[in-house]
Structure 1
Amino acid sequence: MLWQKAYGFPSPLFWGTVSVLLALLVRWWHQKRKSTNSVPEKWRCVGELSELTVFPIKSCAGISLEEAECTECGIQTVSDGPLKLRDRFFIVYDEKTEEFKTARTYPKMLLINVTLDGNDAVKLSAPNMPELQIKVPQDSESNKRTHCKIWNNEKVETVDCGDTAANWLSKYVLNQDCGLRLGYYLADIMPRRVAAEKLKQCFKTFKNKDLGVYSDLTSFMLMTESSIDDLRTRLPPHVSIISRQFRPNFLVRGSLPYEEDKWKWIRIGETAVFKNVKPCTRCVLTTINPDTAIMEPKREPLRTLKGYRQLTDPAMLKVEGSSPALGIHLGLHNSGTVRVGDSIFVEDE
Structure 2
Amino acid sequence: MKKSLVKLWPVAKYYLFSKNRVLILVVIMALLTTNCSGIVSKKNHSTVDKVSINYKHNLYKLKIGLVPTENPIEQERMIKALKEYLEQSVGGGLEIASQSKTIGRQTTQNTEEIENRQNAIAISLDFQIGKSYQQIIDLLVQGKLDMAYLGPLSYVEAVDRGAKIEPLVAAIDKHTGQPWYRACIIVKQDSPIKTLKDLKGKRIALVDKLSTSGYLMPLATFKKLGIDYQHDFAKVLYTGSHSKSLAALEDGIVDAAATNISSYFKEQKIGKLTRENSRVVWQSAPILNFPIVVSKKLPPDLIQKLKQALISSPEGLEDILGIESAGYTLVTSSDYASIEQLRKELNLISVPAK
TM-score (norm 1): 0.22
TM-score (norm 2): 0.22
- Normalized per residue, which structure has more strand? 1
Whichever of the two has the greater Rg, that structure is 2
